[in-house]
Amino acid sequence: MERYILGYVMDRSIDGVTREDVRQLTHVNLAFGLVRDGLLDMSMLPRVDRARLFKRWNPALKVVLSVGGWGAGGFSTMAMTAAGREAFAASCLEAVERYDFDGVDVDWEYPCSDMAGIDADPRDRENYTLLLRALRDALGPNRILSVAAGASEDFLAWTEMGAAARILDYVQLMTYDMRGGEGPCQAGHHAALGPSRGDASPRNARAVVELFHSAGVPYEKMVLGAAFYSRIFPVDSDRNRGLLQPARSGSFGPDYGGLTDAWRRERGFHEYWDEDAQAAWLWNGREFVSFESPEAVYCKCEYVKERGLRGLMYWEHGGDPSRELLGIIARSLTD
């Protein structure tokens, strides 16, 4: 089975994508198209034509338009009627043909939930499946249709993933941001492969994979997620080097490329490894920084092969300017 290596690329990062990058990738997900007035809106991707160059550099590369993202609304209202779903699907097909995309990736965050300040309705659960069916009918059987799925039991309650998986080519699991957010929380790994010792949270990549499999998603249709950015937790306790200690929040930290040796020295950080979670963190006595180290990314790749998953995707390409993490993924999944 060919292993997929998918990189999400935002418009702000697209000019930095190199010939060597696309030769290491099997798929590029361009982020993001939006839903506006019930139709596809491409205004957030002004440099989308550059993607044609990627396919000249690597003719085997698949370029997929990702629609949605955190805080991107319009899905619920559009998907409420058959006419709305069909009109949106037709607008996606038009963009696919115009820009020579290989398919569409739906990143609705999230059906049935207004936590991101978007329109939502309990009927989203069924309408999510119906929207995917409308897109499949419009795109045809030979174009890619995928989704980015929240790494939680809630997402499974909000969707019909067993039915969706039969329509989709693959499901990308957003196995990051699994810990943190606004308000009091527990400092820990936001993209852990497994649970830390003593961790009561059920949210880790291995557990999420089994949840989705139990919900009807075949292993070979799952793509595991990796994070090219960190999360920072302010912690008052020095116990366990901050791990699993009460924190005030878990806000976004630097991208992987920003966690330089100079940045660490200036702030007094030392790096540690959690063998149980197969995840790294930084600690300086006051702040806990969760991030994906090269070793952690390698462990995720090994798990992908061990469990028979389709591949690995990451958010976001610009977060790894040295391509250290991408190189590990490419070497691990193409050997």
DSSP state of 247: E
Cβ-contact 68, 118 below 8 angstroms: no
Q: How far is the CA of 84 from the CAs of 37, 95, 119, 159, in angstroms?
A: 10, 17, 15, 19
| Set 109, 160, 292, 316: catalytic member | 109
Active site residue 271: no
Amino acid symbol at 215? A
> How far is it, in rounded angstroms, from Cα 7 to Cα 10?
10
Cβ-contact 256, 323 below 8 angstroms: no
SS3 183: coil
Cβ-contact 197, 146 below 8 angstroms: no
User: Where is 136: in which H helix or E strand?
Assistant: helix 124-139
Amino acid symbol at 179? R
Strands (E) located in the chain: 4-10, 27-36, 39-41, 62-68, 103-107, 144-150, 170-174, 185-186, 222-227, 229-234, 246-247, 251-255, 270-274, 279-283, 287-291, 311-315
Give me the phi and psi of 202, to 5 degrees please.
Answer: -85, 0
SS3 66: strand
Cα of 112 vs its chain's centroid, Å: 19
> How far is it, in rounded angstroms, from Cα 237 to Cα 245?
7
Q: Which residues are catalytic?
A: 109
